[in-house]
């Protein structure tokens, strides 16, 4: 039961959990009540979570009757996070019922969850002082009528613009290209055309873009993209028209294609995925050159440390000193029992530095360590604020998602800002 029912579990587990200690929410505390309403709008989704602070509050006010009578199913059947939205409805009923009592407050155990925007990129933008990137990641302050920015949507729109530009460029090349290059150019043109037909929505590109902040390879990004597609094994004898339309040479018995599950008419091959990932890379590099600079800098630091065979280390504002030193290992086969022929293979360190891992892992380890330090400092600020380290606080965190009761959301936002100021 404990393995399943935890706040890092599935939506059902999260929707069933509340804080053990109740907190007083004063009925006149409009800001705290508004944060409850905003969380309800976020759980409902359907674009409401992309609206401004005031628009989300207004949506809850306009739909109050269906929230209080949520069992009629009018809102639940449309909600993106149905179970969390039901949990919100129960809490909203708790608040609404308190309005008819003589008490000035009501007791809430309900966790209000706040998510960061592309947290890895947030740390990188603060680390490099990249103000344009910070703006896309909601680190630049706005008022309550400002809609939150969505970094993934921004990149998705840029992908289309880039592909249209690339298509025009390749068509120009085709008219001037030598015969030996013609086939290559035609393939690039057809690849651009297929990708332009593809629905490049937020959910498709989110994971590959997210892991890029942690120095993920292009192959890893391609693998994440392919997870969103259905794999199709094409038989050359039965599907010759399809293979020819995809510029496939019939040299093997089978060919693997990937079909967009939301649009069965769009088939992609491996070269298309390479082009799509290269396009994402170019957009991020061109729009935010400081990301490339910090990546190259960290890679060079790692290469120097590898050459000198020394540990890469860095201090954190929490006082922890991080040390990174990956070593290679060798497989040794053992036969522990004389009366049995079975052998076992174990990996043993050979003391030699693993160059590839040292270079590839520095950026993600640095960002994750800064993320962990932020969380430690945040918790410490909560305890310092109440001047009693023995008193429990209602708080949980899942990576870049923090949860507190509604009366503590204002403090949570203030403390996160102070933590980032302290670090950066």
Angle at 405 between CA 399 and CA 410, to 5 degrees: 85
Phi-psi region of 387 (alpha: psi -120 to 50; beta: other; left: phi over 0): left
Question: Any residues with CB less than 8 A from the CB of 252 and at least 6 apart, and which?
Answer: 236
Alpha carbon distances (Å) from 178 to 16, 175, 327: 66, 9, 49
Question: Any residues with CB less than 8 A from the CB of 134 and at least 6 apart, and which?
Answer: 122, 125, 126, 140
Among all chains, which residue has been given the structure tokens 């070593």? 327
Using the Cα atoms of residue 50, residue 54, residue 57 and residue 58 in order, give the sign of their dihedral.
negative
Question: Any residues with CB less than 8 A from the CB of 88 and at least 6 apart, and which?
Answer: 36, 39, 40, 43, 67, 110
Angle at 127 between CA 121 and CA 129, to 5 degrees: 95
Question: What secondary structure does DSSP assign to 61-92, as a single string?
Answer: HHTHHHHHTGGG-TTTTT-SSHHHHHHHHHHH
Active site residues: 115, 206, 400
- What the block records as the tokens of 269 is 């091959």
Question: What secondary structure does DSSP assign to 157-209, as a single string?
Answer: HHHHHHHHHHHHHHHHHHHH--HHHHHHHHHHHHHHHHHHHS---HHHHHHHH
Nearest residue to 110 via CA among 159, 174, 37? 37
Number of Cα atoms under 13 Å in the Cβ half of residue 276? 30
């Amino acid at each position: 039961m404990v393995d399943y029912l935890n706040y890092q579990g599935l939506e059902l587990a999260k929707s069933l959990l509340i804080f053990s200690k109740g907190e007083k929410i004063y009925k006149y505390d409009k800001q705290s009540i508004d944060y409850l309403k905003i969380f309800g709008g976020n759980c409902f989704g359907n674009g409401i979570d992309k609206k401004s602070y005031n628009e989300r509050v207004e949506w809850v006010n306009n739909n109050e009757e269906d929230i209080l009578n949520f069992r009629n199913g009018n809102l639940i059947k449309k909600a993106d996070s149905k179970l969390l939205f039901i949990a919100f409805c129960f809490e909203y009923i708790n608040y609404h019922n308190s309005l008819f009592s003589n008490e000035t407050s009501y007791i809430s155990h309900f966790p209000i969850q706040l998510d960061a925007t592309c947290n890895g990129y947030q740390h990188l933008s603060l680390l490099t002082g990249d103000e344009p990137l910070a703006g896309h990641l909601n680190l630049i302050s706005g008022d309550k009528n400002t809609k939150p920015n969505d970094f993934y949507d921004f990149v998705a729109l840029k992908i289309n613009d880039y592909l249209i530009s690339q298509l025009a460029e390749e068509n120009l090349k085709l008219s001037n290209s030598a015969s030996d290059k013609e086939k290559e150019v035609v393939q690039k043109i057809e690849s651009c055309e297929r990708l332009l037909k593809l629905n490049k929505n937020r959910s498709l590109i989110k994971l590959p873009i997210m892991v890029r902040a942690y120095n993920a390879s292009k192959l890893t990004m391609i693998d994440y993209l392919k997870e969103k597609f259905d794999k199709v094994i094409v038989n050359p004898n039965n599907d010759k028209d399809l293979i020819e339309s995809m510029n496939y040479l019939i040299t093997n018995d089978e060919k693997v294609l990937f079909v967009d599950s939301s649009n069965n008419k769009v088939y992609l091959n491996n070269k298309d995925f390479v082009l799509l990932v290269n396009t994402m890379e170019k957009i991020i590099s061109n729009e935010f050159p400081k990301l490339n600079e910090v990546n190259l800098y960290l890679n060079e630091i790692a290469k120097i440390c590898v050459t000198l065979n020394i540990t890469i280390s860095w201090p954190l504002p929490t006082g922890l000193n991080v040390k990174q030193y990956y070593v290679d290992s060798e497989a040794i086969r053992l036969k522990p029992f004389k009366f049995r022929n079975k052998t076992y293979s174990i990996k043993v360190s050979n003391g030699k530095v693993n160059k590839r891992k040292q270079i590839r892992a520095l950026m993600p380890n640095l960002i994750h360590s800064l993320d962990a330090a932020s969380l430690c400092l945040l918790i410490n600020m909560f305890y310092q604020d109440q001047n009693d380290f023995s008193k429990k606080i209602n708080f949980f965190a899942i990576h870049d998602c923090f949860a507190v009761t509604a009366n503590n959301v204002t403090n949570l936002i203030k403390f996160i800002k102070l933590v980032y100021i302290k670090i950066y």
